[in-house]
A and B are shown apart, each in its own frame.
Chain A
Amino acid sequence: MKTNDVILQTVTKVTLFIIILFSIHLFFAGHYYPGGGFIGGLMTSGAIVLLLLAFDIKTVKSILPIDYIKLTAIGLLFAIGTGAGALLFDMPFLTHAYTYVNMPLLGKTSLHTAVLFDTGVYLVVIGVTMTIIQTIGESE
């Protein structure tokens, strides 16, 4: 039995991008304003979950053909890689570095290795949430 969920589907198509954009904003804002990799990642997964609710797993899989386990692994590599990167500069594991640059349009922007680490967190959170939801959802 498939109920008529035109409204939900239509709304989803619009809001999905807003949520994802907002989650990316949250992710980048992390170091200065509320947000960060963890929240951003959860928000993105929330968006995908909305997609799942509005459509079904097969459709979502064809829209986003992502292997979430691999995504988790990539995320972990990011986090560990950032940490190990410090070793190359003869610093303790997970030492971060940052600098400020003046970029066109954006003005004074900070560049931070913590962002790389946070990318790892972001990817892992999406990967883990979606792996769990997808495997449980599929196992009917």
Chain B
Amino acid sequence: MSLLHLAVISPLLLALLIPFLHKHFRKIHTGWFLLPLPAVLFGYFLQFISVTRQGDTVMETIPWISSLGIDFTVKVDGLGLLFALLITGIGALVVLYSIYYLSPEKEKLNTFYIYLLLFMGAMLGVVLSDNLIVLYAFWELTSFSSFLLIGYWNHRERSRYGAQKSMLITVFGGLSMFGGILLLNSITGTFSITETIAMSNEVVNHPLFTATLILFLLGAFTKSAQFPFHIWLPDAMEAPTPVSAYLHSATMVKAGIYMVARMTPVFAHSGTWVWLVAGIGIITLFWGSFSAVKQVDLKAILAFSTVSQLGMIMSLLGAGAAALHYGTIQDGYYIVAVTAAVFHLINHATFKGSLFMVTGIIDHETGTRDIRKLGGLMNFMPITFTLAIIGTFSMAGIPPFNGFLSKEMFFTGMLRIAEMDIFSFDTWGILFPIIAWTASVFTFLYSMIYVFKTFTGKYQPEKLDKKPHEAPVGMLIPPVILASLAVIIGIYPDVISGRLISPALRSILPALLDDSKAYEVHIYHWHGFTPELFMTIGVIAVGILLYKTLTKWTGVYRAFPEKLALNRFYDSGLEKLELGSLNITRGYMTGFIRTYLVYIFTFFVLALGVTLFYRNAFALDFSDVAPIRFFEVVLVAIMAISAITILFAKSRLTSIILLGSVGYTVALFFVIFRAPDLALTQLVIETVSVALFLLAFYHLPQINRKEEHMRFKLGNLLVSIGVGVIVTMIALSAHSNKSFKSISEYYVENTYKKAGGENMVNVILVDFRGFDTMFEIAVLGIAALGIFAMIRLRLTRGKE
């Protein structure tokens, strides 16, 4: 266990302590106990910058299930470190913000912070583990904690709906990715990402390559809310705003991007990858920004904006992957797209994080997020207004903020993809810059809507629940820090370019950059009068024009048929699924135990019978059989007579007693065959179960008079005879087939020597096969709990 491992799981460890801290320090807001952890972790991870800057990585391994190639390997490289810093840095700010956002009187803080810590640990695990299986486990844990956090206000119907939706979609993706991991493992024979990257060539030329790639991308696209899986993200906005800022904008939704970036060295040599990632990304970019404009809820605007920005980063990664085909870096001519992706990833976290926090402040201080009710808040919340201006202008790509720089690089990347002469980019590639430009106009538009509809215009106090005023300082500090970062990065981009961007690039494109450590990213404000500059000017001009004429053309949105909406598709699909499974279940769950017994025994007969037949396993061998003695015949006769009499018994009492007599006769058999332990057990079991039957006796219905003449049922007869025949056949074959030496010799030899006991049966139970016994008693316990719960629950329901 290294310090690095401890850092990854420390949030999970702290989560264990939260209930106690919450209980014993009620006066203190639980968030204060959390705050130091991400802050310290942030400081800890900062130290690694000096390592990754040199192009080095740190790797620590704890052996876990080494025989299957699953080890808890933590690897810090440029990409992982960048994400770790985002997770801990934004995490610290979000925790601080949440302390003021969530009131300790009204909310269940302990659960909230446990979920948050669970997420933080899981996310660190995703970005830092080098083993795909471990990564997958953490990946699902992020989906899980996101589900819990979206449903945090679980008394709201919309929260539950959003939580379920996100869970279904992201877990679907997660499982697909798991399939991808297994396929990849069958190709490479390893779960280590580092080793997989080294075998990239074999992966690309493998027949299963396309399937693997698509499964991986399904995981990444669902997580990062790419079209058409983006529909869960807007509904996830039901979560408390700090959660939206943290999970659904800055970190978790970027896990998909992380995955794409991480797997780029493995998959990127194929055209499918480039087209899918870049294509889906750009569609998402357009669709997200287009949909954001029609939203009236501030958080919904941000949600669609997040979708679109994620699409933008995704398309950049796809475009940049194409650079691999040129083999050299050529002064960063093609990899500018990847640079822009990493750069925008950071920028997005800063401005979108601050915007979410601003939204939270507005919601908190006015009681609404509806832009139709808001307006003229500028005078009441000057600081919040300034923050919103910085955030939205950066998002819209207006200088001098950081968003402008990455937007320019985005245009560059898109223009260059159109110039490429591979994968028919020379024909269709021209679509990329066109869609990118259009989407940017809409991005500009919704940014303006966000800030100006809220803060300028007419103040409508009658529509607000509260009188608006500036937020408390604690709530302002986190967005102020993020907004300042947006400005600082905007003015001095090289502060982060050498420290964070270049090392991350080296992880994404190791083949190109490993041997050229001299390559350093530099970001400039002024490139001269380039096409990019004119595109930006065009975006601003057209954007302002559209904003001014907003009311005249929003009818476009109504033209889009409701029926085709993806949400409609999702809802009806879910409904049909539920209905279908209900019908199927109703078809065979009759509620009668005799029906179920027929199912069970039919399956038993068929499964065993068919196996016996196909394996040709039936055998008869009477060579070493002892002679049958007289009293054995008598016992068998008693058993048979009792069993047959049960069928004709007229009262339940008789049947219970007859059943008991069968059991006791079996015990006598054990006595004859000198198995005292079995005989004892059988006797006591029989006694207890007869008593149990007598107790349950009251609850059983009387045997119906009509049923006295038991109707002859052919099906039941066949099943009963089948069970009897099969069991007999198995018993005979088991005796006759001696495929291997009996293990009893081993026990005879070692019972005293190794376990210090003389009763072999008991020594086997508690020592040689103690594991079995342990699980058996666990199963017994579960059965008891089940019976207890079933009867007690039914009783309480009956009282209601």
* Chain A contacts to B: CB under 8 angstroms: 26, 29-39, 42-43, 45-46, 49, 52-53, 68-69, 72-73, 75-76, 79-80, 83, 93-94, 96, 98, 110, 112, 114, 117-118, 120-121, 124-125, 127-129, 131-133, 135-137, 139-140
- Asked whether, in the complex, the Cβ of A133 is within 8 Å of the Cβ of B780, the reply is no
Smallest beta-carbon distance B743→chain A, Å: 19
Known contacts A94-B770, A121-B766, A135-B787; A76 and B680 CB within 8 A of each other: no
Smallest beta-carbon distance A111→chain B, Å: 10
Number of A-B contacts (CB under 8 A): 150
Residues of the A chain whose Cβ atoms lie less than 8 Å from the Cβ of B676: 34
Give CA–CA (A139, B696) in the complex, Å.
9
- For A43, the closest partner residue in chain B by CB is B684
- Asked whether, in the complex, the Cβ of A121 is within 8 Å of the Cβ of B777, the reply is yes
User: Beyond the given A114-B755, A132-B692, could you list 11 further A-B residue pairs with CB under 8 A, ordered by the A residue number?
Assistant: A30-B759, A32-B758, A36-B677, A36-B759, A36-B765, A39-B684, A46-B688, A52-B695, A75-B777, A118-B762, A140-B698
Determine whether B644 belongs to the interface, using a CB cutoff of 8 Å to chain A.
no
Known contacts A35-B762, A131-B784; A26 and B756 CB within 8 A of each other: no
- Asked whether, in the complex, the Cβ of A31 is within 8 Å of the Cβ of B763, the reply is yes
- Asked whether, in the complex, the Cβ of A83 is within 8 Å of the Cβ of B774, the reply is yes
Q: What 3 pairs between A and B have smallest CB-CB spacing? A: A31-B757, A34-B676, A42-B684
Give CA–CA (A120, B770) in the complex, Å.
12
Residues of the B chain whose Cβ atoms lie less than 8 Å from the Cβ of A33: 758-759
- Asked whether, in the complex, the Cβ of B783 is within 8 Å of the Cβ of A128, the reply is yes
Partner of A136, one of B680, B684, B696, B771: B696
- Asked whether, in the complex, the Cβ of B795 is within 8 Å of the Cβ of A117, the reply is no
Residues of the B chain whose Cβ atoms lie less than 8 Å from the Cβ of A136: 692, 695-696, 699, 787, 791
Smallest beta-carbon distance A5→chain B, Å: 14
- Asked whether, in the complex, the Cβ of B762 is within 8 Å of the Cβ of A45, the reply is no
Give CA–CA (A29, B680) in the complex, Å.
13
* Chain B contacts to A: CB under 8 angstroms: 676-677, 680-681, 684-685, 687-688, 691-692, 694-696, 698-699, 755-759, 761-763, 765-767, 770-771, 773-774, 777-778, 780-781, 783-785, 787-788, 791-792, 794-795
Give CA–CA (A33, B762) in the complex, Å.
9
- For A115, the closest partner residue in chain B by CB is B766
- For A131, the closest partner residue in chain B by CB is B784
Known contacts A69-B784, A114-B755, A125-B780; A94 and B695 CB within 8 A of each other: no
- Asked whether, in the complex, the Cβ of A69 is within 8 Å of the Cβ of B788, the reply is yes
Known contacts A32-B757, A39-B681, A132-B784; A79 and B777 CB within 8 A of each other: yes
- For A68, the closest partner residue in chain B by CB is B784
- Asked whether, in the complex, the Cβ of A120 is within 8 Å of the Cβ of B758, the reply is no
Give CA–CA (A59, B685) in the complex, Å.
24
Interface-central residue, B684, B787, B795, by most chain A CB under 10 Å: B684
- Asked whether, in the complex, the Cβ of B766 is within 8 Å of the Cβ of A36, the reply is yes
Give CA–CA (A140, B676) in the complex, Å.
38
Give CA–CA (A128, B119) in the complex, Å.
38
- Asked whether, in the complex, the Cβ of B787 is within 8 Å of the Cβ of A42, the reply is no
- For A94, the closest partner residue in chain B by CB is B770
Give CA–CA (A83, B766) in the complex, Å.
11
- Asked whether, in the complex, the Cβ of B763 is within 8 Å of the Cβ of A135, the reply is no
- Asked whether, in the complex, the Cβ of B695 is within 8 Å of the Cβ of A114, the reply is no
Smallest beta-carbon distance A106→chain B, Å: 17
Residues of the B chain whose Cβ atoms lie less than 8 Å from the Cβ of A83: 770, 774
28 A-B residue contacts at CB 8 Å? A26-B680, A31-B763, A32-B757, A32-B758, A34-B676, A34-B759, A36-B677, A36-B761, A36-B762, A39-B677, A39-B684, A42-B688, A72-B780, A75-B781, A76-B781, A93-B771, A98-B756, A114-B757, A120-B777, A129-B688, A131-B788, A132-B692, A133-B691, A135-B791, A136-B692, A136-B699, A139-B699, A139-B791
- Asked whether, in the complex, the Cβ of A112 is within 8 Å of the Cβ of B795, the reply is no
Known contacts A35-B677, A43-B684; A132 and B756 CB within 8 A of each other: no
Known contacts A46-B688, A137-B695; A128 and B759 CB within 8 A of each other: no
Smallest beta-carbon distance A1→chain B, Å: 13
Smallest beta-carbon distance B639→chain A, Å: 22
Residues of the A chain whose Cβ atoms lie less than 8 Å from the Cβ of B778: 76
Give CA–CA (A127, B532) in the complex, Å.
76
Interface-central residue, B699, B762, B794, by most chain A CB under 10 Å: B762
- For A37, the closest partner residue in chain B by CB is B766
Smallest beta-carbon distance B528→chain A, Å: 69
Smallest beta-carbon distance B183→chain A, Å: 34
Known contacts A31-B757, A140-B698; A46 and B684 CB within 8 A of each other: yes
Residues of the A chain whose Cβ atoms lie less than 8 Å from the Cβ of B696: 136
Smallest beta-carbon distance A24→chain B, Å: 14
- Asked whether, in the complex, the Cβ of A30 is within 8 Å of the Cβ of B762, the reply is yes
Give CA–CA (A127, B778) in the complex, Å.
12
Residues of the B chain whose Cβ atoms lie less than 8 Å from the Cβ of A94: 770-771, 774
Residues of the B chain whose Cβ atoms lie less than 8 Å from the Cβ of A125: 777, 780
- Asked whether, in the complex, the Cβ of B756 is within 8 Å of the Cβ of A112, the reply is yes
Smallest beta-carbon distance B686→chain A, Å: 10
Residues of the A chain whose Cβ atoms lie less than 8 Å from the Cβ of B791: 135-136, 139
Smallest beta-carbon distance B696→chain A, Å: 5
- For A32, the closest partner residue in chain B by CB is B758
Residues of the B chain whose Cβ atoms lie less than 8 Å from the Cβ of A124: 777, 780-781
Residues of the B chain whose Cβ atoms lie less than 8 Å from the Cβ of A72: 780-781, 784-785
Residues of the A chain whose Cβ atoms lie less than 8 Å from the Cβ of B756: 31, 98, 110, 112
- Asked whether, in the complex, the Cβ of A42 is within 8 Å of the Cβ of B681, the reply is yes
Give CA–CA (A78, B124) in the complex, Å.
37
- For B676, the closest partner residue in chain A by CB is A34
Residues of the B chain whose Cβ atoms lie less than 8 Å from the Cβ of A76: 777-778, 781
- For B783, the closest partner residue in chain A by CB is A128
Give CA–CA (A64, B218) in the complex, Å.
59
